[in-house]
């Protein structure tokens, strides 16, 4: 498994600017998000396994890497914790008084600004896993221990619970 995790640090990298990306399957997996060499976030997809074949499905909606990373690429903060973290950390601190006023009257959208940031500056790596349980275990391991040679995520580091 450590070789697989290594791919999340040094494997092929995909830019959100190129979304949608045909190489990203709608399967269970774990992913890392990067801003150049800065390790920002680790996440997983495929938590809900409902079909007899083990694919991650709920009704007609498939929940996997493609849908999760597509949600991040959209920049919509509602229901997307990564987009909330990215907006809070990288956009809100840089807002001018004029921008805050424009947001307050609906002339400027934080979601649009978040999408612009994600698409312009961020990239990701991913690893397909057997199911959501394996993806969750890897995500948790990385949150707690970080990635070898890289360290902790900036936006969602974990910690051991007492």
pLDDT in tens, 59-85: 545 579 999 999 999 999 999 999 999
Backbone angles phi, psi at 85, to 5 degrees: -60, -45
pLDDT tens digits for 51-61? Answer: 555 444 445 45
In the Cβ-directed half-sphere of 76, how many Cα atoms lie within 13 Å?
A: 7
pLDDT tens digits for 89-120? Answer: 999 999 999 999 999 999 999 999 999 999 99
87's CB contacts (< 8 A; 6+ apart) are 77, 110, 113, 114, 117
For residues 82 and 111, the answer to whether their CB atoms sit within 8 Å is no
Q: Where are the domains of the chain?
A: 2-145
Nearest to 14 by CA among 40, 32, 2: 32
Nearest to 108 by CA among 118, 97, 121: 97
């Amino acid at each position: 498994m450590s070789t697989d995790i290594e791919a999340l640090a040094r494997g092929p990298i995909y830019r959100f600017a190129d979304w949608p990306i045909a190489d990203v399957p709608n399967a269970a997996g774990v992913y890392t998000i990067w801003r150049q060499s800065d390790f920002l976030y680790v996440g997983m997809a495929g938590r809900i396994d409902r079909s007899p074949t083990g694919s991650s499905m709920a009704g007609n909606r498939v929940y996997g890497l493609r849908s999760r990373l597509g949600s991040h690429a959209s920049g919509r903060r509602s229901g997307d914790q990564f987009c909330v973290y990215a907006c809070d950390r990288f956009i809100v601190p840089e807002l001018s008084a004029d921008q805050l006023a424009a947001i307050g009257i609906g002339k400027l959208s934080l979601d649009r600004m978040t999408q612009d940031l994600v698409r312009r500056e961020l990239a990701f790596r991913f690893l397909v896993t057997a199911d959501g349980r394996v993806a969750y275990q890897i995500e948790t391991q990385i949150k707690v221990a970080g990635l070898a040679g890289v360290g902790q995520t900036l936006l969602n580091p974990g910690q051991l619970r007492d």
